[in-house]
Structure 1
């Protein structure tokens, strides 16, 4: 059982089955609170830790009050991925599951020393440039220096691609000591990592399979409650697993037995234990997952790999303890992810097209119009046509930041059992 004894404490939202939790624990953080919506994942946390676990909608003030944890060392979480996933519709703020903007608002309430939020790489695409700009600008308003980084899990000892888009924010006096973890690629392959588990039932062809599985696996996809059972992801991912001698069309109950055919004839499927190890839960973790096979697989497949969370957590811990030499902190919100958003948000009124063309520095009205169309997916964009031409003004952000009247509340109430 993992306890919460540590001088550095974290509140973790959307904690899932504890991938990020375990990594942060190994990095030296104790949990003051873990909040999770899914009953199976919450049960997993309770079964493996002595932490306080709040089960329910993280944005429900009756479940927990962020203000009660003001001054916490770290606010962390892996907020829902579907709003930004390249494999999905990329609805962003229009997706009722989106909690990224809400999590950022809690920084102003809780005033943590550090913030760690992770999501899929889709959040780093041009589609969400304005969304990212708003996040950085909002954090700067709260007095935090923030940075985004795309981290590949395979650079931190996990034999799986699994890129994650990670945001770290700190107050400037601590940010001066923060450095992103250096990549430490491992030569461990899917085959070498899983050999003992694949051989557990006496399969005579295990070494032939290890040779086939001599590489890094595609990203494991946990999926959502809206779709099917447990498998290793969409068609492209299954094809990637097939090249490694793995049947990705389901999850096995056990490893191949002594009579199982050669992997070139019938590739084996992975078990829950194998998938957990591929995500970074090793034999030392002794982590038990609640629920039946599909529920367990979703918990594991949706997790932030513990080794990656540990690497980032150690960097945050070092910064909070002011270890190493300080470095210059960039000006708050100096990064410009979306110059059109920045030009509109800095203006007090309408901004003429000519000024937006200049801000984009591409000298193309068509380029500005395309950017405005993308921006309008997450923000209200007002248009003014007069004798001087066309001008634009940035209106309200469409995302959920805690508004009592937001449509998210009705959606969660109606679809609680299918939200993940």
Structure 2
């Protein structure tokens, strides 16, 4: 295959970067906000050009310098879409998804790869997703969304990621989503037995036999919250069932004679805690990948990463498409939000009844109350103009997308400055 270059934004500690490297991509640039993650990238790949700072700051890097690169990739911040958060979407100052899509117009990569949390696949964001697809279509790309399960690609973890891949028309018909690898993902016990036994703990083998499932999603958390642990209550209970104490991260593997800790109430916990190295292995990092910073910052880098094995498989599919080494296929267009598509570009306001009637002509069955609820929903990410008619029946016009896409006067700039220390 010919040499393929990638520019990666929001590169983090290198999960996606490592996977893309394994797929044959060479990094022309990696941009990341967190200084510890930048040091992680520099330590492990000193030959890469790594730039630290706000990726949307024109003083940090010049996108036009990389025009025509093979791939523009990134794992933009997930809090705007996470189910555990407020799901502010386009109105969250951390949202860079729409900006990254707009960036494709400036960089004009042959392919675009963006990944995020499963929450972006929810009905709440159907119009957001449709806007992304339609915008990329305007830029000359064919784009698709797909929910990928990390455990389908050998990662011993329940880690669903919602992935967007877009390719220029010339390459789009050669792209195929990666198929799940044969066989089951290894269990937590199989993955970590040697690390658990590294300091001579006699119970490692017995522990490994009982840790016979795959892990819940490892959560890196944000700077807004406390130290490192393995997630909320439900995740802690799942770790407990695997014989892992999820209330923190250990500095070292258990020593000879180790006994599980007890809680303040005297309850016996599941077993040993994971070390950061164990968490990194569950994410799919190789053991020689080192993380800079303290235990909490290092673990946050690990927990927020895109598993390298998943990134590798998606990267291989993109590489085959760019080199036209795959069979051609027909790309079926999927409509994520019929109301948004109906209103997009219209200059005449429509009532809910009119919207319902037009949708029925397209074989989309939605009643007037459904349309009204959908319009209210739509208004969270888009400006909706309501026009009152003489009969008192409102009609609606779809106006601007609220998201930050690079506007100089957008409120994102001030909010970002105010909250920068808490953004991860």
Pairwise TM-score range, normalised by the shorter structure: over 0.9
Quote how far apart the aligned CAs of 1:254 are: 0.6
Structure 2, unmatched stretches of 5+, are 262-267
Residues 205 and 262 in structure 1, CA contact (< 8 A), matched pair in contact too: no
Displacement of 1:241 after TM fit? 0.7
Matches within 5 A, 1:186-265: 186-261=184-259
Q: Is the contact made by 1:96 and 1:408 (CA closer than 8 Å) also made in structure 2?
A: yes
The structural deviation recorded for 1:357 is: 1.5
C-alpha contact (below 8 Å) 1:172/1:329 kept by paired residues: no
1:45 is aligned to 41
Aligned equivalent of 2:372: 369
1:7-406 superposed matches below 5 A: 7-49=3-45, 50-184=47-181, 185-261=183-259, 267-283=271-287, 286-330=288-332, 334-358=333-357, 359=359, 361-387=364-390, 389-406=393-410
**Counterparts of 1:354 and 1:208, CA distance in 2:** 65
- Structure 2 CA distance for aligned equivalents of residues 8 and 405 of structure 1: 36
d(CA) in 2 for partners of 1:45, 1:82 = 23
1:211 shift after superposition? 1.9
Q: Deviations over 1:374-409 (max 9, x none)?
A: 110000111112135321000111110000011111
Displacement of 1:353 in angstroms is: 1.4
1:414 and 1:11 map into 2 onto residues whose CA distance is 28
Unaligned runs of 5+ in 1: 1-5
Q: Would the aligned equivalents of 1:10 and 1:30 in 2 still touch at CA under 8 Å? A: yes
In the alignment, which residue of structure 2 is the partner of 1:3?
none
2 CA distance for matches of 1:216 and 1:129? 30
Kindly tell me: are residues 266 and 83 of structure 1, through their superposed partners in 2, closer, same or farther at Cα, counting changes over 3 Å? closer
Report the Cα offset of residue 206 of structure 1: 1.0
Name the SS for the 1:393 alignment partner: strand
Closer, same or farther in 2 for the Cα pair 1:274/1:341, shift >3 Å?
Answer: same
Q: Which moved more, 1:354-363 or 1:38-47?
A: 354-363
CA distance in structure 1 between the aligned counterparts of 2:228 and 2:185, rounded to whole angstroms: 28
What value does the CA root-mean-square deviation take over the aligned residues? 1.4
How far residue 415 of structure 1 moved from its aligned partner, in angstroms, is 2.3
Does the CA contact (< 8 Å) of 1:251 and 1:270 recur in 2? Answer: yes
Give every structure 1 segment of 4 or more consecutive aligned residues whose post-TM-superposition deviation is greater than 4 Å: 262-266
Distance 1:363 1:306, change over 3 A: closer
Q: Are positions 1:414 and 2:418 aligned together?
A: yes
Note the C-alpha offset of 1:262: 6.3
After TM superposition, the score normalised by the length of structure 1 is: 0.95
- Cα distance in structure 2, aligned partners of 1:129 and 1:139: 16
Give, in angstroms, the shift of residue 63 of structure 1. 0.6
2:352–2:372 Cα contact (<8 Å) kept: no
Tell me how far 1:352 sits from its aligned partner: 2.1
TM-score (ref. length: structure 2) = 0.94
Number of paired residues?
A: 410
